[in-house]
Amino acid sequence: MSEGGIEDDWTPSPIELERRAFARRASVKSILIAAASVVVFAGVIAVILASSTGWVKVREAFFDPQVFIHSLPAVGKGLLQNLKILAFSVVGVAFLGTLIAVIRTSRSPVLFPLRFLAAVYVDIVRGMPAILLLYLIGLGIPGLRLGGRIDPVLLGTIAITICYSAYVAEVLRSGINSIHPSQRAGARALGLSHMQTMRIVILPQAIRNVIPALMNDFVSMQKDVGLVSIIGVVDAVRAAQIEVARIWNFTPYVAAGVVFILFALPFVRLADWYTKKVRTREQRGGTV
């Protein structure tokens, strides 16, 4: 327990020893209580399930281990499609979201029409269920008969990009507005133009401030990519659906759910870890 290299022959006082012993007893006690609580809860749930008349049927229909293992390859292959769409959408969202945020925070009168359009875009997209947006783009654009068949994967990617750009733009906009005006004054006083100020001074700080919110949007996005199944993309959800229809058992849905969760988990943890890190840094009173 040495701190800062100061050497002394300190030994804990009896009062300190008593306090530590008490703290240890208290923590052992709370662990025991937590364990007992888990056992009781699990027992109650098990009893409710076992005593319900439909449990055996539900277990067969949703939790068949053999069907689970059997459906994993198809579901996993579908997930690769999700990942592909996710990767392209993330790039699209980063670009479009930043563009919209910069337009919405600009003050130039030249950009007024763009600012207006950006506000309308954000309002409409954020107000609309994502599933409707997917229908409109996934079924509407092919309906225009622009010539040739458009890959639903491409349409799904476009729809997800449009949807999440609106959310990300709003997060970035709040980040841009959170930067103190003195930073802008400092940059403009050096002779940096508005765009240079944005690119070099404001955005790097703004993005850092909103990284937890952006990560949250990312986690939400990778799960919503599963919605592309409704416009005919064979992704993890769609693959599970096909399996369900083939073997008349719902377990593939559970498999798809598990696969999605496992995939999201590292990012969820990463977001939590980073949010916590930022919070402790802020509470320490650091300036950066």
Partner 1 sequence: MSVPSLEPAAESQFGPVRSSEGNPGGPVLSLRGIRKVFGNHVVLSGVDLDVQEHEVVALIGASGSGKSTLLRCINLLERIDDGQIFLKGEDTSDPRVDLDKTRARIGVVFQSYNLFPHLTVLRNVDLALREVHKMPKDQAEARAMDLLDRIGVADKAGMYPDRLSGGQQQRVAIVRAIATDPELLLLDEITSALDPNLVGEVLDLVRALKSGGSTIVMATHEMDFARSVADTIVFLNQGRIEESGSPQQIFEHPSSPATAAFLERFRR
Q: Which residues lie near partner 1 (CB under 8 A)?
A: 182-183, 185-193, 196, 200-201, 204-205, 208, 286-288
Residues 106-139 as b/e (b if ≥16 CB within 10 A, e otherwise) read: beeeeeeeebeebeebbeebeeeebeebbeebbe
Count CB neighbours of 37 within 10 A.
10
**Closer residue to partner 1 (CB): 28 or 190:** 190
* Helix (H/G/I), strand (E/B), else coil: 129: coil
**Closer residue to partner 1 (CB): 5 or 286:** 286
**Closer residue to partner 1 (CB): 65 or 286:** 286
Q: What minimum distance in Å lies between the beta carbon of 280 and partner 1?
A: 16
Taking the C-alpha atoms of residue 80 and residue 68, their distance in angstroms, rounded to an integer, is 18
* Cβ(63)–Cβ(254) below 8 Å: yes
**Closer residue to partner 1 (CB): 39 or 185:** 185
Q: What minimum distance in Å lies between the beta carbon of 81 and partner 1?
A: 38
**Closer residue to partner 1 (CB): 53 or 287:** 287
Q: What minimum distance in Å lies between the beta carbon of 200 and partner 1?
A: 6
* Cβ(130)–Cβ(217) below 8 Å: no
Q: What minimum distance in Å lies between the beta carbon of 169 and partner 1?
A: 21
* Cβ(225)–Cβ(86) below 8 Å: yes
Q: What minimum distance in Å lies between the beta carbon of 6 and partner 1?
A: 24
